[in-house]
Amino acid sequence: MNTKAKELLIKTKRRLFGQNIGNNISTFQGNGIDFAELKEYTYGEDVRKINWKVTARQQKPYVNVFNEERELNIVIGFMVSGSIYFGTLRQKQEVMAEILALLGFAALKNSDRVTSIFFDTALMQWFKPSKSPNIVYAALEYALETDVLKRRCDTGKFVDFLLGSIKNRSIVLLLGDFYEEADFSLLGARHELYAVIVRDRFEEHPLLEGEYDLVDPVSGKHHRLDLDGKLIEKYREDLRRHDERLAEHFLKNRIRFTKIYTDEEPFLKLREMLK
């Protein structure tokens, strides 16, 4: 295991020791012990769930609905693109790798099964569901060592792949910079979906005017640009509108999300999103 992977492992384990990002009470409904709500009885439901006191009071049958406490399937989707090969303090790729390790160890701490899937325009690597720390070690090392340059993540294809591959209802966490738009509504309906947007502040607020010879990390092509105030402002506005559409789409489909910058501690925002 390389030095960077070891450093991140030590950091994530320290963060999680004696703390917890989430717990096993999910939104999955079943025969658990955590009461959620009452609802009217519908034909075919288990009569053993009928709440007789409420039924007598309302003069129509009501049943108890519980949040089921069960072993969860945690799926971490790592969106591989050349655009994550960027960062002023730390590269987005490294921050995403740290997030993957945090989520993986949090799942293992809860005795849940975790799997990691790496995808660009097709499946790159699938670490099968496991409760072994070795699966997190391997996924972390792969996340750090993968050459992401000249790769593009086809987010739509990734969503289709997840829909076709994950059979049981799961908690799915997607990691990426989310510059490509896609429809997450069906994935969010079938699974408990979270989006972790990783960005560098310079991407959203470039400040330097002048002439630059830039290399596109996705295509590998060189571009000579003369950046002036108007062009920078247009870029900021286009990105702001893109992020507004993305947030609106997530909110409409009840998909929880957070944005983590490369100069921030991922643990704090993950805990806030998942608590």
In order of their start, the domains of the chain are: 3-22+71-274 (3.40.50.410), 25-69 (no CATH)
pLDDT at 36 over 80: no
CA distance 260 to 271: 12
Q: Are 259 and 199 in contact (CB under 8 A)?
A: yes
pLDDT tens-digit profile of 11-23? 776 666 555 554 4
pLDDT tens-digit profile of 258-269? 999 999 999 989
End-to-end CA, the chain: 32
CA distance 201 to 195: 18
pLDDT tens-digit profile of 155-209? 999 999 999 999 888 999 999 999 999 999 999 999 999 999 999 999 998 877 7
| Angle of CA points 153, 157, 161, to nearest 5° | 115
Task: Name, in order, each residue with C-beta under 8 angstroms of 215's C-beta and a sequence gap of 6 or more.
Answer: 221, 222, 223
Task: Name, in order, each residue with C-beta under 8 angstroms of 25's C-beta and a sequence gap of 6 or more.
Answer: 32, 34, 67, 69
Q: What percentage of the chain has pLDDT greater than the value 70?
A: 88
* Placement of tokens 């609802």 in the chain: 39
Q: State mean pLDDT over 243-247.
A: 97
Per-residue pLDDT, 263: 96
Task: Name, in order, each residue with C-beta under 8 angstroms of 212's C-beta and a sequence gap of 6 or more.
Answer: 224, 225, 227
- Give the chain's mean pLDDT: 87
Per-residue pLDDT, 26: 46
pLDDT at 218 over 50: yes
Task: Name, in order, each residue with C-beta under 8 angstroms of 204's C-beta and a sequence gap of 6 or more.
Answer: 236, 239
Phi, psi of 221 (to 5 degrees): -85, 150
Task: Name, in order, each residue with C-beta under 8 angstroms of 118's C-beta and a sequence gap of 6 or more.
Answer: 78, 80, 124, 125, 126, 142, 143, 146
Q: State mean pLDDT over 145-160.
A: 96
Per-residue pLDDT, 70: 61
Q: State mean pLDDT over 28-55.
A: 73
CA distance 215 to 239: 19
pLDDT tens-digit profile of 62-107? 888 766 556 789 999 999 999 999 999 999 999 999 999 999 998 8
DSSP 74-94: EEEEEE--GGGS--SSS-HHH
Per-residue CA distances from 236 to 201, 211, 231 (Å): 12, 18, 9
Interstrand relation of 113-119 and 73-79 (parallel, antiparallel or unpaired): parallel
Q: What percentage of the chain has pLDDT greater than the value 90?
A: 56
- The pTM of the whole model exceeds 0.85: no
pLDDT level of residue 24 (50, 70, 90 thresholds): very low
Q: Are 101 and 1 in contact (CB under 8 A)?
A: no
pLDDT at 54 over 90: no
Query: Which residue, 232, 249, 82, is CA-closest to 149?
Result: 82
Phi, psi of 225 (to 5 degrees): -120, 140
pLDDT level of residue 7 (50, 70, 90 thresholds): confident
